């Protein structure tokens, strides 16, 4: 139910292009974001207590199984913040109602 009624998130998928040297490079797709509904589960965080330290905020995003082309080069906008994909998305197969992707995302500083 949370994936259907969850919070709205915008995901920029990734695609493979050929650069000016002839190399295949994976980049974020600039065609525009895809709007999805997702459930968010906090994973771990560390607060920057001393100047020079970095704050870490990692959250798991759970989305429907029909999402594709999301990799480490994808970007997410959710909860008013910009996030990077930290780990490759994990597909969890099950019945039609329970199959989903779980994606760990890290908040950009």
What mean pLDDT comes out for the span 65-73?
A: 80
Q: In angstroms, rounded to a whole number, what is the distance separating the alpha carbons of residues 102 and 96?
A: 16
| pLDDT surpasses 50 at 1 | no
Residue 13: which domain range?
2-107
Please report, for the domain that includes residue 83, its CATH number. Answer: 2.40.10.270
Structure tokens at 77: 């906008």
pLDDT at position 20, please? 92
pLDDT band at 34 (very low <50, low <70, confident <90, very high): confident
pLDDT at position 2, please? 54
pLDDT at position 23, please? 93
What mean pLDDT comes out for the span 13-33?
A: 85
pLDDT at position 24, please? 92
Q: Are 27 and 73 in contact (CB under 8 A)?
A: yes
What H or E segment, with its residue span, contains residue 105?
Answer: strand 100-107
Q: Are 104 and 60 in contact (CB under 8 A)?
A: yes
Question: How far from each other are the two terminal CA atoms of the chain, in whole angstroms?
Answer: 31
44-58 residue pLDDT tens: 776 666 666 567 788
Structural domains counted in the chain = 1
Structure tokens at 101: 């992707």
């Amino acid at each position: 139910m949370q994936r259907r009624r969850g919070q709205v998130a915008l995901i920029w998928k990734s695609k493979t292009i050929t650069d000016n040297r002839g190399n295949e490079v994976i980049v974020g797709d600039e065609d525009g974001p895809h709007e999805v509904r997702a459930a968010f589960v906090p994973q771990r965080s560390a607060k920057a207590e001393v100047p020079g330290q970095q704050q870490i905020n990692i959250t798991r995003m759970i989305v429907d199984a029909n999402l594709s082309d999301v990799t480490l080069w994808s970007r997410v906008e959710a909860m008013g913040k910009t996030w990077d994909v930290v780990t490759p998305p994990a597909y969890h197969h099950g019945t039609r109602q329970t199959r989903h992707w779980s994606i760990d995302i890290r908040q950009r500083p």
